[in-house]
């Protein structure tokens, strides 16, 4: 379980669910909540947050698994190269 830094942005039950999804999910959720809290709250109100978060985790994991020889780059640089949007969907 990986504790959220921006836990206050989420409903308690959503935060708990995210924390059980692992470190990558918590990192992405924190990034979204820190940069786009209104979008996060809208996704949560529409019951789309967890499915969208799962999709983002899968996309980022796929990219990282395909780039083992790019450890000299930061994760966000690799995501930029593959045009993975760091923001939550609208």
The model's pTM: 0.91
Rounded to an integer, what distance in angstroms lies between the CA atom of residue 20 and that of residue 29? Answer: 12
* Residue range 1-45, pLDDT digits in tens: 789 999 999 999 999 999 999 999 999 999 999 999 999 999 999
- Measure the CA angle with vertex 76, ends 71 and 80; round to 5°: 105
For residue 49, pLDDT over 90 is answered with: yes
Rounded to an integer, what distance in angstroms lies between the CA atom of residue 36 and that of residue 90? Answer: 10
Burial class from Cβ neighbours inside 10 Å (0-12, 13-18, 19+) for residue 8 reads exposed
Q: Which of 27, 35, 33 is nearest to 11 (CA)?
A: 33
Report percent pLDDT > 90 for the chain: 86
Instruction: Give residue 81's pLDDT.
Output: 92
Question: Mean per-residue pLDDT for 47-63?
Answer: 97
Instruction: Give residue 7's pLDDT.
Output: 94
Instruction: Give residue 45's pLDDT.
Output: 97
Which residues are CB-contacts of 65 (< 8 A; sequence separation ≥ 6)? none
């Amino acid at each position: 379980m990986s504790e959220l830094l921006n836990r206050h942005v989420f409903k308690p039950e959503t935060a708990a669910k995210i924390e059980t999804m692992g470190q990558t999910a918590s990192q992405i959720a924190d990034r979204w909540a820190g940069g786009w809290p209104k979008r996060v709250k809208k996704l949560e109100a529409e019951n789309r947050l967890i499915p969208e978060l799962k999709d983002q985790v899968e996309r980022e994991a796929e990219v990282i698994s395909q780039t083992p020889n790019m450890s000299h780059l930061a994760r966000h640089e690799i995501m930029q190269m593959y045009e993975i949007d760091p923001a939550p969907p609208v």
